[in-house]
Structure 1
Amino acid sequence: MKSGGTGGANTNRGGLAFENKTDLAARIERDLSADYELIEHASTKDLSTSKAFDVYRRADHHLVGIITKQLQFYNILSEHYHVTNQNHKRWKPDEVFFNFDANTIFIVEKKWQQKSGSVDEKIFGFVNKRRLYQNNFNQLPTEPKPTVEFAALFNASWWIYGLDHAIPAGTNPPRKNEVAYQDYFDNLRIDGIKIFFDNYDYWWFGL
């Protein structure tokens, strides 16, 4: 960011708007409300910084799992699995779905960009983050232990189209960044990282 400029502020605002627009709980309520009901999670622990939601299948009112984010990941880790964080740092995942039926924890990291920068290299750390999250569940004494799956959610306006602004409605701009980032995307997939652009594939979460 240049001295006196607003690039950093714009990026922060854009990233926050992207996080809110892609809120997983809100998306499920919007798109899957016929099949699933979200009920705010009741807990004896502090859930004030962000909410958690129990996800029930409407057909039989079966608890499928819990959606949460940020530091609330560790509250659910303690409350449901009775284990503590095994890493020196407490990472703050953007979205988490604890799918009890699948015995799998689905974690989403969101990366909103409007220009190239250090985040280009940081995304290669996703596979190591998945390992660090997995450490927390590997301490459980019995098998089968939960598996951590990891996804990256990118804004297509930049990562595909190379635009520093939203894609205008009804337009089909050239996909000039798709080729530039293809090696990045392919290497993430080689490492087992799921990639989303703007929207979720709900089947990935087991829904």
Structure 2
Amino acid sequence: MCAINKIVTRSYNTVGGGANTNLNGLEFERGTDLREAFANHPQYKLSGDSIIDRTTQEVVGRLYEKNKLYKNLLEANHINYKNIISKKLLPDDALVVGNTLYIIEKKYQAGAGSVDEKLQTCHFKKRQYIKLMTSLGLEVQFYYLLSDWFNAPSYKDVLDYIEEVGCKYFFGKIPLEKLGL
């Protein structure tokens, strides 16, 4: 696999992070998003919200951030989320590859705080996304991209729980094969 050569970071990123990535993943830190990661990837390019393989020129995926998931995917398919769930969930990043919707929530923390408890909501959120995507025939994968803070022994139970309920987590980068690419 190819690497992302450069990640564009927004000015509010104060925790650092490198501009280089490994050979087989998408790496993005606080202040960056999946769109930027693909835009700077040597194997893929973006055209609007479409991810295009640079070699074959085929569309291999489509991005839906925040409200675009509702406007460009659900509403475009005449689906009113209010008829399915009671409150909108806004993903940090969402990607459709094949028949799978990948929800990516980024959680960064450098000290004890409220994010600790938010990690335990992945099962509920995945369930809500599954309800939304059923009529489109899309499977749902729910991923956390976590800062190294959560790699401490005190998070073992919650990390185990995330996996037990069918969600996944990654530290610092998500391998391309985990996104169906």
Contact 2:91 2:104 in 1 (8 A): yes
Q: Which residue of 2 aligns with 1:167?
A: none
Q: Which residue of 1 aligns with 2:167?
A: 193
Q: Secondary structure at the match of 2:89?
A: coil
1:79–1:151 CA distance, 2 compared to 1 (3 A): same
Q: Secondary structure at the match of 2:31?
A: helix
Q: Which runs of 4+ in 1 moved over 4 A?
A: 13-18
Instruction: Give aligned pairs, total.
Output: 156
1:39–1:193 CA distance, 2 compared to 1 (3 A): same
Q: Which residue of 2 aligns with 1:29?
A: 39
Deviations 1:86-122 (A, max 9, x none): 21111110010011xx200000111111212232122
Q: Which residue of 2 aligns with 1:127?
A: 123
Q: Which residue of 2 aligns with 1:171?
A: none
1: distance between equivalents of 2:85 and 2:100?
19
Structure that is richer in strand per residue: 2
1: distance between equivalents of 2:166 and 2:159?
11
Give the TM-score taking structure 2 as reference length: 0.77
Q: Does 1:148 align with 2:140?
A: yes
Indicate the structure (1 or 2) with the bigger Cα radius of gyration. Answer: 1
Q: Which residue of 2 aligns with 1:44?
A: none
1:65–1:16 CA distance, 2 compared to 1 (3 A): farther
2: distance between equivalents of 1:71 and 1:201?
25
Q: AA paired with 1:26? A: E
Contact 1:151 1:193 in 2 (8 A): yes
1:80–1:206 CA distance, 2 compared to 1 (3 A): farther
Task: Give the unaligned 5+ runs of structure 2.
Answer: 1-11, 17-28
Contact 2:91 2:105 in 1 (8 A): yes
Q: Which has the higher contact order (CA 8 A, sep 6+)?
A: 2
Task: Give the unaligned 5+ runs of structure 1.
Answer: 1-12, 41-52, 161-177
Give the TM-score taking structure 1 as reference length: 0.68
1:38–1:185 CA distance, 2 compared to 1 (3 A): same
Identity %: 28
Q: Does 1:74 align with 2:65?
A: no
2: distance between equivalents of 1:81 and 1:206?
23
